[in-house]
Amino acid sequence: MTDTRIIVGLGSCGIAAGAESVHEYLLKVSKDSDIAVGITSCVGVCFAEPIVEVVQSGNTVRYGYVDVDFAGRIVEGIKADALPEENRIMYDSGVEAYLARQVKIALQNCGCIDPESIEDYLSADGYKAIEKVIKELSPREVIDLVKDSGLRGRGGAGFLTGQKWQFLAGAGEQKRYLVCNADEGDPGAFMDRSILEGDPHGVIEGMLIAAYATGAQHGYIYCRAEYPLAVKRLNLAIGECKKRSLLGDNILGRDMSFHLQVKEGAGAFVCGEETALIASIEGKRGMPRLRPPFPAEAGIDGYPTNINNVETYVNVPKIVLKGASWYSGYAYGKSYGTKVFALAGKVKRGGLIEVPMGLTIREIVEEIGGGTPTGRPIKAVQMGGPACGCIPYRMFDTPIDYDSINATGAIMGSGGLVVMDDESCMIDVARYFLAFTQNESCGKCTFCRIGTKRMLEILTRISEGKGKESDLDILDELAHHVSKTSLCGLGQLAPNPVLTTMKYFRNEYEQHIKEGVCAAGVCKALITIRISEEKCTGCTACVRVCPVDAISGERKEKHTIDPDICTRCRVCFDACKFEAIEVV
């Protein structure tokens, strides 16, 4: 037992599942023993949180679904030299399938090191890449290395990273800025948050390499304030780097200066757009501006500025240490390396995954994600964020690469991937995401401000059974005007959920308009909820959960729903174990 360590996963997903209580318990019971207790962050297996690892003499046993009681069993097992066999997720078939197709590059350190310890990062070859470029490579050679790797920006647009760096390096002004865009505002997305929580030093080292290559002396990590754990660990990492002369002046004893600080954003989705982000850093309202000039010419306070996102920067140290050809070896078409996705929605094994370019959507959703938790048929995935598109199940053999995804009408985006089953109404999905982008519009562009509002009104009308056939032509016309006339990516891509659902699920729009039917049973105005007399057992489960007391009936007698009171919330449908609740 002398070499035993227990490591608790304390990423946001683990904490939300109860990992803090497990950690506090283990710290308490370890005081009277020689068991060391440490922390790590999210390893990506979010569906099995809280996760605890037991490390003994170099061997690791990883447990999932750990609560305080099971943590006690682990401690007793350590003392008795007989660790529990239950909940070992390293040998769980679902976890093995989840991990088997993945290739960890950006996520290499996440869940494997203590993110609050620079010593742990150094033991994982941390800061060897910046040392290598300073000692062995010229700035131009670093840019060429990144260009040769084929690394493209992982924030959505997919622009070549090395070329972007070259623009900044060639800027005339001596004062230059680097920015890490960590303003991750997509519903269902948590890629950047997990990397910042799990490997903050990896992001900092990537920025250091970029600073050396471009001549930038000042940097910001623009992180949304809703990520307090990420902000905390970034500030800890920056403080540790300053103590070791990895940030500040004369970095590693060389003639290189780079000053880095965290700037907390206030949660405006539009600040994910680079010119709006720059305005926010300057203390102004986050609103996009016309380009040119591009940030590489005139960014923060008018000085040349380069912006990449979290995933882009964290890839760079690995490329420096292992080479451009190693990274570009993971290739499909013109897309290279790997891509991190937040796998969410109606999927059995949700979490954070990293896959090589070229895997299909089907392989991700069915083999890695395990399909839907209920076994219901998959209907579609919504990819890349709220302003991206929906891809139907029949196109799930589409490979994951920039060009193939763009050809569907969706985009790769930052990496959110939301799975929907046959109980999802695509009009409701389009309405939800358009409501988000309409609410987040900064209001600067008329078509974005007014056009998205009118589109939302039409979608709402259709979902209420009041749509007209002419609405589809108006939607299409508005969508193309909004896309063509908006200043920034928010407005330009806002119509994508509407355009792709109209393209691939037009029959649902027509059913809503012509037949007054929502086949998925989602749109409240178009459905009725009733109780089957044949199947109702009178168990009263539906009565107990109905929030408006619309259900009546005595125990062991047939129940009924008053349609005038019923709000169609479907709570009774979820509560009934006998399939007696019908949505028609």
**Phi, psi for 379 (deg, rounded to 5):** -105, -40
Q: Which of 179, 162, 212 is nearest to 299 (CA)?
A: 179
Helices (H) and strands (E) in the chain, counts: 25, 19
pLDDT tens readout for residues 54-93: 999 888 999 999 999 999 999 999 999 999 999 999 777 7
Tokens of 223: 């992180």
Q: What domains does the chain contain, in order, with CATH numbers?
A: 5-96 (3.40.30.10), 118-326 (3.40.50.11540), 332-421 (3.10.20.600), 426-515 (1.20.1440.230), 528-583 (3.30.70.20)
Contacts of 518 (CB under 8 A, 6+ apart): 425, 427, 428, 463, 511, 512, 526, 527
The better pLDDT of the pair 116, 389 is held by: 116
Answer for the pair 411, 405: CB distance below 8 angstroms, yes or no: yes
**pLDDT mean across residues, the chain:** 93
Question: In the chain, what percentage of residues exceed pLDDT 70?
Answer: 100
pLDDT on residue 2 = 55
Answer for the pair 83, 73: CB distance below 8 angstroms, yes or no: no
The better pLDDT of the pair 269, 53 is held by: 53
Answer for the pair 56, 4: CB distance below 8 angstroms, yes or no: yes
Is it the case that residue 359 has pLDDT exceeding 60? yes
Is it the case that residue 416 has pLDDT exceeding 70? yes
